[in-house]
A = this chain, B = another copy of it.
């Protein structure tokens, strides 16, 4: 937890905040915070700043926030389009994308996506939100990503919201075989499709290509979805000093 993430509704009028649960425990047990220590804090979907520890025990903490002058981490230009992976990978993928400033992601059905994945407990809105919050706290980010689910590639492309992103984005699909090496830093919003375990079917790749996606290679190894996304993030992002 590299940022104490606060819901604006948690703040008293004078800027103090009372915490229990995992945040209090983390402040006490992991950060070993003492009265007077200052922690990095951020408002959900808002700015970041600092908070002074007034009291800290394993089960509760009281902090006084000191204003939130720093704007959120800039939005990543990457918009992943991911064939829904198995629950463990799905959770790690959510965590990672929230931690790196990705603000929008699509999870889609595909021929090799197991139907049972759609019914997993990790798909419940509260579970999704929990993973995202943990990711934000890891990355030092504050803005909750917008996660959208579409049952199939067809349904995805029928979505006017997705189509309007498509219209002004570069579009890549990470898929081995007849692929060009993945390009480096991208200059604008980039949709990045990642297939399921076992990969997209040929007809699915053809469909993506007909819709303007370029097939790119991340090398000969088959990476887990969450790592493929992190590799794409590293490769395509424009980092500044």
Contact = CB atoms under 8 A, between A and B. Distances in A.
A234 B239 contact: no
A157 to B, nearest CB: 26
Contacts of A178: 241
A144 interface: no
Interface in A161-191: 178-182, 184-185
B221 A99 contact: yes
A233 B233 CA distance: 10
Given A231-B231, A234-B231, A234-B232, A223 B99 contact: yes
Contacts of A240: 181, 217, 219
A73 interface: yes
A87 to B, nearest CB: 15
Given A231-B233, A233-B234, A239 B181 contact: yes
Contacts of A181: 238-241
Contacts of A140: 220-222
A19 interface: no
A241 B218 contact: no
A139 interface: yes
A96 B139 contact: no
Nearest to A240: B181
Given A101-B219, A182-B239, A235-B235, 15 more contacts: A96-B223, A99-B222, A99-B224, A99-B227, A100-B221, A101-B221, A139-B223, A140-B220, A141-B221, A180-B241, A217-B241, A218-B234, A218-B237, A223-B230, A230-B234
